[in-house]
Amino acid sequence: MGENPAMDIRSVTPTICRLMRIEPPTTCQAPLLEPVLALGLSKVERVLVYGADAIGRVFLENHADLKKRLLAATDVQVELRAMTPPKTPVCFASMFTGALPGVHGIRKYERPVLTCDTLFDALARAGKRAAIVAVKDCSMDIIFRNRSIDYFTEADDAAVLERTLFLLSEDRHDFIVSYNQGYDDELHKTGPESPEAVAAAKRHVETFVSLWQATEEHWSGHGRALSFVPDHGAHYDAAKGKGDHGEDMPEDMDVLHFWLVRPRAPADGMERVRRAWDEAAASWEDFVESGKDWYRLGLHGPALLRACGEVKGLRVLDLGCGQGYFTRLLAQAGARVTGIDLSGQQIANALRHEQEQPLGCEYFVLDAARAAERWPEPSFDLVTACMALDDMPDPGIVLQVARRLLKPGGRCVFSAVHPVMDAPMRGWEKDGTGRKVMLKLGRYFDSGPACCPWTMARLKRYWTTPFVRLTVDGWSEAIEQAGFLIRRIYEPRPTLEDVAREPQLEDCRDFPSFVIFDLVAANGVEPGYDSHR
Among residues 33 and 54, whose Cβ is nearest to Zn ion?
A: 54
Give min distance, CB of 243 to Zn ion, in A.
8
Rg (CA), the chain: 27
Helix (H) or strand (E) holding 154: strand 150-154
CB atoms within 10 A of CB 334: 12
Binding string, residues 129-168; x marks residues near Zn ion by CB under 5 A:
----------------------------------------
Among residues 184 and 354, whose Cβ is nearest to Zn ion?
A: 184
Give min distance, CB of 232 to Zn ion, in A.
8
Among residues 246 and 301, whose Cβ is nearest to Zn ion?
A: 246
Alpha helices in 436-492 (DSSP H): 472-481
Q: Does 184 bind Zn ion (CB under 5 A)?
A: yes
Distance CA 185, CA 89 (A): 15
228-257 residues near Zn ion, rule: CB under 5 A? none
Among residues 233 and 322, whose Cβ is nearest to Zn ion?
A: 233
Instruction: Please identify, among the stretches 180-188, 201-209, 378-386, 506-514, the one whose residues bind Zn ion according to the rule CB under 5 A.
Output: 180-188
259-298 residues near Zn ion, rule: CB under 5 A? none
Instruction: Please identify, among the stretches 127-135, 183-191, 374-382, 407-415, the one whose residues bind Zn ion according to the rule CB under 5 A.
Output: 183-191
Distance CA 325, CA 386 (A): 9
Give min distance, CB of 54 to Zn ion, in A.
5
Give min distance, CB of 188 to Zn ion, in A.
6
Q: Report which of 44, 55, 376 is spatially closest to residue 205, judged by C-alpha positions.
A: 55
Among residues 177 and 383, whose Cβ is nearest to Zn ion?
A: 177
Give min distance, CB of 26 to Zn ion, in A.
30
C-alpha angle 203-292-193 in degrees, rounded to nearest 5: 30
Among residues 187 and 273, whose Cβ is nearest to Zn ion?
A: 187
Q: Report the residue closest to Zn ion, judged by CB.
A: 184
Q: Report which of 58, 60, 54 is spatially closest to residue 92, judged by C-alpha positions.
A: 54
Distance CA 92, CA 110 (A): 12
Binding string, residues 188-227; x marks residues near Zn ion by CB under 5 A:
----------------------------------------
Among residues 184 and 318, whose Cβ is nearest to Zn ion?
A: 184
List of residues 6+ apart from 412 with CB closer than 8 A = 382, 383, 384, 399, 402, 403, 406, 484, 517, 519, 521
Q: Are the C-beta atoms of 174 and 46 separated by less than 8 Å?
A: yes
Instruction: Please identify, among the stretches 177-185, 334-342, 430-438, 490-498, the one whose residues bind Zn ion according to the rule CB under 5 A.
Output: 177-185
37 φ, ψ (degrees, to nearest 5): -65, -30
Please work out the total of residues on this chain that contact Zn ion, with binding judged by CB under 5 A. 1
Among residues 174 and 184, whose Cβ is nearest to Zn ion?
A: 184
Among residues 74 and 84, whose Cβ is nearest to Zn ion?
A: 84
Residue-by-residue DSSP string for 81-126: E--SS--HHHHHHHHTTS--HHHH---SS--PPP-S--HHHHHHHT
473-502 residues near Zn ion, rule: CB under 5 A? none
50 φ, ψ (degrees, to nearest 5): -110, 115
Give min distance, CB of 156 to Zn ion, in A.
16
Instruction: Please identify, among the stretches 176-184, 314-322, 403-411, 489-497, the one whose residues bind Zn ion according to the rule CB under 5 A.
Output: 176-184
Distance CA 216, CA 161 (A): 16
Distance CA 409, CA 381 (A): 8
Instruction: Please identify, among the stretches 184-192, 200-208, 219-227, 252-260, the one whose residues bind Zn ion according to the rule CB under 5 A.
Output: 184-192
Q: Which residues bind Zn ion (CB under 5 A)?
A: 184
